[in-house]
Amino acid sequence: MKIILQIVPTLPPNVDGLADYAFNLAKQLRQDFQILTHFIVGNPQWSGAREIDGFPVTQLEKRSPQSLVSQLDRNLPIFLNYEGYGYAKRGYPRWLSQGLEQWKKISQKPLITMFHEVYPYDCGPPWTSSFWLSPLQRKLAAKLLQISDRAITSKQSYADLLQQLSSKQYRDLLVLPVFCSIGEPKEILPLKQRQRRMIIFGHYNSRALVYRNNLTALESICRVLEIEEIYDIGVPTGLQLPRVNNTIVTEMGVTPASEISQLMLDSIAGFLSFIPPEYLAKSTVFASYCAHGLIPILTASSPPTADGLECDLHYYSTERNVSVLTFERGQYIADCAREWYARHNLPKQADAIAHLFSTIERN
């Protein structure tokens, strides 16, 4: 069985989209291509097992180039899951690029980097650390791109940023919107055969915004879709959840993936606050709604098409006239969203990544 090293900030049991991405990718690579992942966890404070579902796990003792290089086998290829703030408090993990640069000098094996983020180009006011560190974060991303044999990212605007950073303008940049991390059902029911249920899923901050800032919009869409049940899923928001059109919101808390999947399969819509449409391709919550055939409901819309996604075609916005959202129209949107998702689902991503490794090693 072939082995790859996959570098991650953390792994489950942490509730983390990047950790879920890495773990699900590892399972698919093992299932479809007999590629075993050995995880290298970059956070010394992470608390977890030394083996997860048959995958060996090595945790760095400290964040330093020496600690990293000491755990990297020169005879094994590397898949780096990069997001600056996952590896350093202020988003500038210079130790990571230095360690990988040292490894590249002694290894002939490929390094593929998945840029979950590139660098924070909206860096805030001058009195914030992100303002001053942004040029360094940009330089670090450019260095990682330079030493990587191939680069992947989740949305086209990130690919454009990477292209600007690249000294090799011909570089192949693979754009793969993120996949659903709670399972990909093969068969789904039409909306009319499901419970009149709304799902509110995701990070506790984004879900808190639903109740603080978007309650009126939620009430309107629930009224139009004749919603009878509302499930709030994820780390508790800490809020006293309000009634929505006199419907009690059931607070599920942290829930097993299989249970979330079953709830979504028997629901008709999923509500998303905070995430701008141009970031949907990197949202595992949006991916979950698409994969389960829900109507994705957003609180914003975007006139230009981003990553092949269009308002009224792949999601519905509460900025529109919600009264015109019929079940037929909702079904069409859910179908289009699921079709968009199917083009880059987990098996297809694993296939693309396995193909990249084999192609580079042959060359």
pTM for the full predicted model:
0.93
Q: What are phi and psi of 65, to 5 degrees?
A: -60, -40
Percent with pLDDT over 70 in the chain:
94
Q: Is 80 exceeded by the pLDDT of residue 162?
A: yes
Per-residue confidence (pLDDT) for residue 126, from 0 to 100: 47
According to CATH, the superfamily of the domain at 191-342 is Glycogen Phosphorylase B; (3.40.50.2000)
Query: What number does CATH give the domain 2-176+345-362?
Result: 3.40.50.2000
Of the listed ranges 107-121, 135-149, 167-181, 304-318, the least confidently predicted one is 167-181
**Residue pair 84/96 in contact by the 8 Å Cβ criterion:** no
What's the pLDDT tens digit per position in 74-94?
Answer: 999 999 999 999 999 888 999
- Is the bond preceding residue 13 a cis peptide, omega within 30 degrees? yes
Per-residue confidence (pLDDT) for residue 132, from 0 to 100: 52
What's the pLDDT tens digit per position in 175-234?
Answer: 999 999 999 999 999 999 999 999 999 999 999 999 999 999 999 999 999 999 999 999
User: H-type helices in 34-79, by residue range?
Assistant: 65-69
User: What's the rounded mean pLDDT across residues 101-120?
Assistant: 93
User: What's the rounded mean pLDDT across residues 41-59?
Assistant: 95
Per-residue confidence (pLDDT) for residue 206, from 0 to 100: 92
- Cα gap 11→47, rounded to integer Å: 9
**Residue pair 277/309 in contact by the 8 Å Cβ criterion:** yes
Amino acid (one-letter) located at 311: C
Return residue ranges of the chain for CATH 3.40.50.2000. Answer: 2-176+345-362, 191-342
User: Which one has a higher pLDDT value, 274 or 179?
Assistant: 179
What's the pLDDT tens digit per position in 277-330?
Answer: 889 999 999 999 999 999 999 998 766 678 999 999 999 999 988 999 999 999
**Residue pair 153/115 in contact by the 8 Å Cβ criterion:** yes
Please tell me the total number of residues recorded for the chain in this structure: 363
Per-residue confidence (pLDDT) for residue 127, from 0 to 100: 40
Q: Is 70 exceeded by the pLDDT of residue 332?
A: yes
Q: What is the dihedral of CA 353, 359, 362, 363, to 10 degrees?
A: -130
Q: Is 80 exceeded by the pLDDT of residue 14?
A: no
Q: What angle do CA 236, 315, 305 make, to 5 degrees?
A: 120
Q: Does the CA dihedral 346-137-110-307 come out positive or negative?
A: positive
- Cα gap 169→262, rounded to integer Å: 45
Summarize the chain as % helix, strand, coil (round to 5).
40, 20, 40
Q: What angle do CA 276, 283, 247 make, to 5 degrees?
A: 80
Residue of 146, 145, 16, 24 lying closest to 87 (CA atoms): 16
Burial-class residue 300 by CB neighbours within 10 Å (0-12, 13-18, 19+): middle
Q: Is 50 exceeded by the pLDDT of residue 170?
A: no
Amino acid (one-letter) located at 324: V
